[in-house]
Amino acid sequence: MPAWLDLVVRVLIVIIVIFVAPLVIGQTEHKVMAHMQGRLGPMYAGAYHGWAQLVADAAKFIQKEDITPRAADRPVFKIAPVISMLPYMIVVLVIPLGPGGLVAQKLDIGLFFVLAVFGLGVIAVLMASWASANKFALMGGLRAAAQLLGYELPFVLAAASVAMAAGTLSLSGIVEAWRPWWLIWQLPALVVFFLAGLAEIRRTPFDMPIADSELVAGYLVEYTGLRYAFFMLAEYAGIFVISALTTVLFLGGWKGPFGLDTELGWLWTLIKIACVSFVVLWVRIAYPRLREDQLQRLCWLGLVPAALAQLVLTAGVKLAL
């Protein structure tokens, strides 16, 4: 296969993944949430158990009127939803599915790349919130920025811990170096990374930037139709990315208990991603939203010290071995 064809195929696969995975997660969320609340969820869109609910949503969103508020900053308002998707698309490029280069783009400092690009999602939020010319949107954007500035720290520190343990910044390298006992050794980092990741993608219980009972819809308040759909897609793509990163960094990626790692590694990765995504949905249904001060408190008094202690522990164990 020529190099350019290879590249095109890989990029195509990534685009398909980034558009299909959020739909799957969204549909799962509908069903999981419904059954956790003793309901059934969508049943009529699509013949079997409402499987096409999100397809119907998409078909509707393209028909919706495209509204731009008169006071809005039009170009910024219109470009923000597209930018919200970009970081997640780029991150998916470097997440390894299986051993032996089952990855769209190999990168030696993949971890650094992921952390750098992941933080850019908030810029789209800031653009959307400011350009909407709406006070609720602006408040949502400010909350998002404050949240991101806080949670970026434990997020990076927890990732640094596992990178230090593996002795590499390559995502594939981290999976190669991973051993089952790391589940215990890196457990605090896993928890910190997962929680900070939830906060970074503004997912319940850290969804204060949206907080529909306080801020109507935060930065989404003026968006309709396809632009709104893009933001929703970005949110669910964020779940996929955070689950994939947790899987690759802390749960051993393609390593399974039965030894078929080279053949079925991608399957293990997908199963683990699905499980972590399920936990993300589960947490949303079980817990209410934190208050803004509780959010900052949890970050600075809980997650940051925990991440620092984990760093010290990792360094200690690494030196002792």
Partner 1 sequence: MKGIGLAKGLAVTFKTMTRRSTTQQYPDVDPELPPRSRGVIAHIEENCTVCLLCARECPDWAITIESHKEEVIVPGAARARQRNVLDEFNIDFALCMYCGICVEVCPFGALHWSPEFEYAEYDLRDLVHSRDRLREWVMTVPPPPAHDRNGAGAKEEVVAEKALAAAAASAPSQVDACPNDGSGRI
Partner 2 sequence: MGCENQSRMVGHMAGLPNVVGEPIRFVLNWGRRYSLWVFNFGLACCAIEFIAASTGRHDFIRLGVIPFAHGPRQADLMIVSGTVTDKMAPALKRLYDQMAEPKYVISFGSCANCGGPYWDAYSVTKGVDQIIPVDVFVPGCPPRPEALLHAIMKLQDKIAGEPAGFGGTNRSDPAVLMAEPVPAPAPVAAPAPVV
Partner 3 sequence: MTVADVLLITIGAVVLGSALLVVTTRHLVRAGLWLIVTLIGVAAAYLVLTAEMVAWVQILLYLGAVVVLLLFAVMLTRAPIGVSDDLNRPRWPGALVGLGAAGALGALLVNAYRWEKVELPEAGTAERIGEQVFQSWVLPFELVGLLLLAALIGAIVLSQPGDDSVSGRKK
| Site of interaction with partner 1 (CB under 8 A) | 32, 34-40, 43, 282-283, 285-287
The helix/strand/coil state of 102 is: strand
Nearer to partner 2, 65 or 293 (CB): 65
Q: Binding residue for partner 3 (CB under 8 A) from 91, 97, 138, 162?
A: 138
**What long-range pairs does 110-116 form, CB within 8 A, spacing at least 24?**
110/169, 110/170, 110/171, 110/172, 111/159, 111/163, 111/169, 111/170, 111/171, 111/174, 111/249, 112/169, 114/171, 114/245, 115/155, 115/156, 115/159
| Phi/psi of residue 262, nearest 5 degrees | -70, -35
94-123 residues in contact with partner 3 (CB under 8 A) are: 108-109, 112-113, 115-117, 119-120, 122-123
CB of residue 34 to partner 3, shortest distance in Å: 37
Q: Rank residues 33 and 120 by Cβ distance to partner 3 and give the closer one.
A: 120
Q: Which of partner 3, partner 2, partner 1, none interacts with 115 (beta carbon under 5 to 8 A by kind)?
A: partner 3
Contact by Cβ (8 Å): 243, 203: no
Token pair for residue 256? Answer: 């399974």
Q: How far is the CB of 96 from partner 1 (least distance, A)?
A: 30
| 59 vs 149 by CB, closer to partner 2 | 59
Return phi, psi of residue 63, to 5°.
-90, -15
For partner 3, the closer of residues 11 and 146 by Cβ is 146
Residue entry with tokens 């790349």: 113
Q: Which residues pair with 98 in a beta bridge?
A: 102
Tell me whether residue 163 or residue 281 sits nearer to partner 1 (CB atom): 281
Q: Which listed option, partner 1, partner 2, partner 3, none, makes contact with residue 64 (CB within 5 to 8 Å by class)?
A: partner 2
For residues 167 and 173, give the distance between their C-alpha atoms in angstroms, rounded to a whole number: 8
* 8 Å CB contact between 94 and 114: yes
DSSP output for 259-303: S-HHHHHHHHHHHHHHHHHHHHHHHHHH-PPPPHHHHHHIIIIII
Among 58, 86, 133, 226, binds partner 3 (CB under 8 A): 133
Site residues for partner 2 per CB under 8 A: 30, 34, 37-45, 50, 52-53, 55-72, 132-135, 210, 212, 216-217, 220-225, 228
Of residues 139 through 158, those in contact with partner 3 by CB under 8 A are 141-142, 145-146, 148-149, 152, 156
Interface with partner 3 by CB under 8 A: which range of 27-35, 66-74, 258-266, 287-295? 66-74
Tell me how far, at minimum, the Cβ of 58 lies from partner 2, in Å: 7
**Binding at 127: pick from partner 1, partner 2, partner 3, none (beta carbon under 5-8 Å per type):** partner 3
CB of 94 within 8 A of CB of 171?
A: yes
Separation CA 304–CA 202 (nearest Å)? 18
Q: Give least dist CB 1 to partner 3, A.
A: 22
Q: On the CB side of 294, how many CA atoms lie within 13 Å of its CA?
A: 8
Q: List CB contacts of 75: < 8 A, sequence separation 6 or more.
A: none
In 3D space, the residue among 27, 12, 36 whose CA is nearest the CA of residue 285 turns out to be 36
Look at residue 253 and give its three-state secondary structure.
coil
Which of 68, 296 has the CB closer to partner 2? Answer: 68
Residue 14 or residue 32: which is nearer to partner 1 going by CB?
Answer: 32
**Please, which residue, 66 or 263, has the CB nearer to partner 2?**
66
- Where does this chain bind partner 3 (CB under 8 A)? 71-73, 76, 108-109, 112-113, 115-117, 119-120, 122-123, 126-127, 129-131, 133, 138, 141-142, 145-146, 148-149, 152, 156, 169
